[in-house]
Amino acid sequence: MKAMNRVSHVAGGLLVMLGAVSTAQGDIMVGDTVSLTFLNASPTQAVAWEFDGDSGTTSAGILNWVGGLQSFCVQLEENIGGGTTVAFDVVEPDGLPDQPPLPGPMGSARSAVMQDLFFRYYDTVIEGSVAEAAAFQMVIWEMSHEMDAIDTDAASIVLGLDFGSGAATFNSSLVVNGIADSMLDSLGSGGFNSYSGLLGLTNPEYQDQLIVVPGVGAIAGLGGVAAIRRRRRRA
C-alpha cells in the first residue's frame, strides 16, 4: 500500500465481468475477472510498518474504486497508483495475498480469523471515523503478514498477533493504536464468526484486496461505471 501516497482522482472508468461458474456473492463470483479503476484512498491515516527487512510509513484506510466498490489492502509490499485500471481475479479470502513477495496466502485458519474481524467491525468501520478505518486496516495487515503466528487453528493465530513484535509490526497514533488493540483483543471472543460476503481480488503485479461485494447491479447504481458485461470464459 506504499503507493497510496501517489493517489489521484479520475473521472470515470470501466468495470468488466468475465464470468465463470462458482460460489456467488451478489453478482460477483469466485472465478470471475473484474477490471476496476482505482479512484482514491479515503479516509486514511498514517501507519508506520516493518516487515521482511523493509519498512515505511503509509496511508491506512479505505480504498475506493470507480463505480462505488470499496476495499481494504491485504498486501504491504505491492503498489497501486491513482487512475490505474487492474484486472483482478476474484478468489476466496484464504487465497490472498499472492507471492512473491511474502507472506503468501493466508490459508483456511487465518482466513477464519479475518472473517471474524469483518463480521464484528466491517459495517461500523465502513461508515465510521478515520481512526476506525486506519485501525481496521492495521489489523488486516497484522493478520495477513504476521508469519510468526502459528497457523494450526484460528485461536492459535490470534494468540500470535501483536502490533509491537513478531515478523510484522505496526504503529500509528494513540487513538488508532487503541482502537486496533481493542479489535485484536475481541477476535474469537465467543467463537469465530463467518462472513459470507467477503471475497478477495488478486493480481500478480498489484496489491491484493479484500472486498465485501454488494453485487454488480448495486455498483452500477452508484454511477461512474462505463460498462458492465459478463460472458463465459472459453475452455
Domain segments of the chain: what residues?
2-221
Is there a contact between 149 and 166 (Cβ–Cβ < 8 Å)?
yes
Per-residue pLDDT tens digits for 22-31 = 333 446 889 9
User: What local confidence, expressed as pLDDT, does residue 151 receive?
Assistant: 86
What percentage of residues in the chain have a pLDDT greater than 70? 79
How many Å apart are CA 124 and CA 59, to the nearest integer? 20
Lowest-pLDDT choice from 60-64, 166-170, 217-221, 226-230: 226-230
Per the rule left: phi > 0, alpha: psi between -120 and 50, beta: everything else, 223 is: left
Local confidence band at 214 (pLDDT 50, 70, 90 cut-offs)? low
How many Å apart are CA 47 and CA 129, to the nearest integer? 16
Is there a contact between 36 and 63 (Cβ–Cβ < 8 Å)?
no
